[in-house]
Amino acid sequence: MKSKLRRSWKFAHKLISTSVATALLAITPLQQAQACTGITLQAQDGAYIFARTQEWGTFDLRSRVTIIPRNYALQTTLEDGKKGVGWKTKYGVVGLDVVEKDYLIDGMNEKGLTVNLFYQEGYTEYAKYDPSKAATSIPVLALAPYLLSNFQSIDEVRAAMAKLNVIGVRVEAIGGVPPVHLMVTDHTGKAVVIEFTNGITKLHDAPLGIVTNGPNYDWHINNLLNYTSLDVPLPHRKADDIKSLKFGAGARLFGLPGDLTSPSRFLRAAAYASTARKTVDGPETMYEAFRILDNFNLTVGTAAAEGGGEVNQEGMRSSTIWTTAYDTKNLVLQYHTQHNRRIRQLDFKTVNFDAKEVVRIPLDREKAQDIEYLNPSNSSQNIMSLAGGWSAAEVDQLAMDAANFAVSKDSSSAKLKRIIEVKKQVVKGANYFINYELDDGSVWDAIVYRDLTGEFSLKQSAKR
């Protein structure tokens, strides 16, 4: 695919990240329910998984999997037209973009470094742009790809951040500068949260690997100490003790806040991650991460999640647009979306990072739930489901067209002889279960989906 980056990263970006922070509970009596949640889990074989939810309440972010190759030149352009930080990518990167533009909300590079952006409204203040420092200035929207394509460890990220002037960007889609902070993790499990406070860049160690939104990260850590069962009396608890936090289980979690505000989600995420079951390897730990993050999914609506710009919720099923998990040891991305909870996977071993252009892959080939259909009369094939909604249907022209489509996808040269049975399920479009015979005597079952435009796609096919 052709890249729209074209060696120039424009300063006037549209929306790139996702989570509005909440105010301090003691200061703001009523908070909006807003946000994204991120957790880190470790497998017994040493694999670290970073996983997060991506919320946005006003419109579908239209995200894509984006692959940035090695040795690819990128150049930022600042608000006065001057060139900012420019670089040639050292490492290949896989991440998710938004609004079909070439900037990333989250991602991982081929060395296992991950970067994820989260909203932090009310607490973020970027440095003022100084034209005399243009060469070391970078728009916050370009920071994730910059870090991912250049560095492989937290120590390298720390050194790089000390040399950068990170500046804010007005985004017309949301009517202002998106206030974000970043969680960065590496393959050793080391992590930092990067925040911009009073014009100063601050890096906070994040040993638990938990992140939500505002207030500032150190406030969350101190607040967390109020909800632990440390044996040390409360006044003597220190943030340095965070690694030894012990949460109870079951009834002992009584009193843990259950609302959707950022401080409460941070507490629950820490509790759920701390009490997660032991997992042997990366794949099983990714499963556990998705299970935990299911607790943070939000319904559709601006009252449920942050969002800016014109409201257009047509086609949305959730304010949790998607959930991603990155295996920093095995270098694998997995995700599911608001439209399809089937896990999709991209293994870095299959990626050509020596390509010449950026590659983009839609998150959903079809915005419909992928369903496995079981056949009680033919358990070896597991092809037909008797789930609600299926009904007997006539062998009409649509059924014939669906059958012929299924046959066309078969590698054999046999032709359709007759349709034995048809069942139909009305979804967003229609699913056709077709039992048919070919002229070579073989009998097949197939599930064919017909969308609202009349296009067919083969869901499943099996020979009896």
Query: Do 401 and 342 fall within a single domain?
Result: no
pLDDT exceeds cutoff 50 at 388: no
Residue range 216-229: mean pLDDT, rounded: 87
Query: Do 189 and 293 fall within a single domain?
Result: yes
- Tell me whether residue 128 is in a domain: yes
Of 342, 362, 382, which marks where a domain is finished? 362
pLDDT computed for residue 33 by the predictor: 43
Q: What is the CATH number of the domain that holds 280?
A: 3.60.60.10
Give Rg (Cα) of the chain. Answer: 25
- Tell me whether residue 314 is in a domain: yes
pLDDT exceeds cutoff 70 at 3: no
Query: Do 120 and 158 fall within a single domain?
Result: yes
- Tell me whether residue 368 is in a domain: no
pLDDT exceeds cutoff 70 at 77: yes
CA max distance for the chain: 81
pLDDT exceeds cutoff 60 at 255: yes
User: Which region among 307-311, 317-321, 351-355 has the lowest average model confidence (pLDDT)?
Assistant: 307-311
| Beta strands per DSSP E along 306-399 | 320-327, 332-337, 344-347, 359-362, 390-392
Query: Do 348 and 394 fall within a single domain?
Result: no
Query: Do 191 and 101 fall within a single domain?
Result: yes
Query: Do 120 and 256 fall within a single domain?
Result: yes
pLDDT exceeds cutoff 80 at 143: yes
DSSP state, 128?
Answer: P
pLDDT computed for residue 327 by the predictor: 98
Query: Do 275 and 313 fall within a single domain?
Result: yes
As a whole number of Å, the end-to-end CA separation of the chain is 40
pLDDT computed for residue 24 by the predictor: 32
pLDDT exceeds cutoff 50 at 183: yes
pLDDT exceeds cutoff 50 at 48: yes
Q: Which residue has the tokens 């993050």?
A: 293
Query: Do 209 and 125 fall within a single domain?
Result: yes
Query: Do 424 and 288 fall within a single domain?
Result: no
pLDDT-derived band at 244 (thresholds 50, 70, 90) equals low
- SS3 label, residue 160: helix
pLDDT exceeds cutoff 60 at 214: yes
Query: Do 273 and 204 fall within a single domain?
Result: yes
The full 3-state SS of 382-420, as one line of letters, equals: CCCCCCCCEEECCCCHHHHHHHHHHHHCCCCCCCEEEEE
pLDDT exceeds cutoff 60 at 198: yes
What is the C-alpha separation between 166 and 147, in angstroms, rounded? 12
pLDDT-derived band at 34 (thresholds 50, 70, 90) equals low
Query: Do 170 and 292 fall within a single domain?
Result: yes
pLDDT computed for residue 308 by the predictor: 66
β-pair partners for 211:
38
Render pLDDT for 323-359 as a digit per residue (tens, 0 to 9): 999 999 999 999 999 999 999 999 999 999 999 999 9
* Residue 350 in tokens: 């299959």
Render pLDDT for 258-294 as a digit per residue (tens, 0 to 9): 898 999 999 999 999 999 999 999 999 999 999 999 9
pLDDT exceeds cutoff 70 at 441: yes
Residue range 419-444: mean pLDDT, rounded: 90
pLDDT computed for residue 462 by the predictor: 83
- Tell me whether residue 337 is in a domain: yes
Q: In percent, how much of the chain has pLDDT > 90?
A: 60
Pairing of strands 344-347, 180-185: unpaired
Residue range 423-428: mean pLDDT, rounded: 85
Q: What is the CATH number of the domain that holds 432?
A: 3.10.450.10
- Report which of residues 41 and 119 the model is more confident about: 41
What phi and psi, each to the nearest 5 degrees, are found at residue 347?
A: -90, 125
pLDDT exceeds cutoff 50 at 8: no
Q: In percent, how much of the chain has pLDDT > 70?
A: 81
Tell me how many domains the chain contains.
2
Residue range 210-215: mean pLDDT, rounded: 95
User: Which region among 228-232, 246-250, 282-286 has the lowest average model confidence (pLDDT)?
Assistant: 228-232
* Residue range of the domain that includes 47: 38-362
- C-beta of residue 140 within 8 angstroms of C-beta of residue 105: no
- C-beta of residue 406 within 8 angstroms of C-beta of residue 386: no
pLDDT computed for residue 140 by the predictor: 94
pLDDT exceeds cutoff 50 at 383: no
Residue range 45-51: mean pLDDT, rounded: 97
Q: Which residue has the tokens 């609600």?
A: 388
Q: Which residue has the tokens 């420092």?
A: 133
- C-beta of residue 285 within 8 angstroms of C-beta of residue 41: yes
- Report which of residues 431 and 150 the model is more confident about: 150
- Tell me whether residue 8 is in a domain: no
User: Which residues are CB-contacts of 162 (< 8 A; sequence separation ≥ 6)?
Assistant: none
Query: Do 452 and 332 fall within a single domain?
Result: no
pLDDT exceeds cutoff 70 at 32: no
User: Which residues are CB-contacts of 139 (< 8 A; sequence separation ≥ 6)?
Assistant: 9, 11, 13, 76, 78, 84, 166, 167, 168, 169
pLDDT computed for residue 307 by the predictor: 67
Instruction: Please name the amino acid found at residue 227.
Output: Y
Residue range 409-419: mean pLDDT, rounded: 87
Q: Residue 411, class by beta-carbon neighbours within 10 Å (0-12 exposed, 13-18 middle, 19+ buried)?
A: exposed
- Tell me whether residue 30 is in a domain: no
What is the C-alpha separation between 438 and 413, in angstroms, rounded? 10
User: Which region among 87-101, 147-161, 216-230 has the lowest average model confidence (pLDDT)?
Assistant: 216-230
What is the C-alpha separation between 232 and 260, in angstroms, rounded? 29
Instruction: Please name the amino acid found at residue 132.
Output: S
- Tell me whether residue 379 is in a domain: no
Residue range 415-437: mean pLDDT, rounded: 90
- Tell me whether residue 96 is in a domain: yes
Instruction: Please name the amino acid found at residue 39.
Output: I
pLDDT computed for residue 304 by the predictor: 58
